[in-house]
Amino acid sequence: MADSAQTARPLSPHLQIWRFTVTMAASITHRATGAVLYGGSLLLAVWTYALAFSPSLFSAVSGFVTSPVGFIIVAGYVWSLSFHLMNGLRHLYWDSGRGLAVPTATKTAWAVYIGSVILAAIILWAGYAGMGA
C-alpha cells in the first residue's frame, strides 16, 4: 500500500510547485550573465585587436560601440560584469558559512541586483564622460 502511494508522487520537485523567488532569479541571472560575458569579451578582444593593428577597423568598431545599439550592448556587458562580480562576492561570503539563512540570502540577492545597477551606471557614466577628454 505504501509503495503505490510513493509511485503516484513526482520523483523530484518541478517548476509547477516552486514559488519563484529572488534567490532563484539571482541564480539564473548569474548563469546568464556568465554566458553574456563571453560575447562581450569577444567584442572587447575585437576592439583591442583593431586598436593595435588597423586604424580603419578601430574607427569602425568605435563607431559601432558609440552608436545607440552599441551603447545597449556595452551597457548590457557592463551590467553583466557588475552583477557577476557582485554575486560572485556573495558566493564567497557563503563559502565562509555565513549568509545562508533564507532571510539573509534574500536580502543579499536584492542587494546584488540593486548594487549591480548602481555600479554599472557609475562605470558607464565614467566611461562615456571620459570619451571626450
Is 84 annotated to bind ligand? yes
Kindly provide the b/e burial profile for residues 55-90, where b requires at least 16 CB atoms within 10 angstroms of the residue's own CB. eeebeebeebbeeeeeeebbbebbbbbbbbebbeeb
Contact 71, 53 (CB under 8 A): no
Q: In sequence order, what are the residues at sequence separation of 6 or more whose Cβ sits closer than 8 angstroms to the Cβ of residue 22?
A: 106, 109, 110, 113
For residues 40 and 77, give the distance between their C-alpha atoms in angstroms, rounded to a whole number. 6
Contact 35, 77 (CB under 8 A): no
Give the residue numbers of the binding site: 84
Binding site members for heme:
84
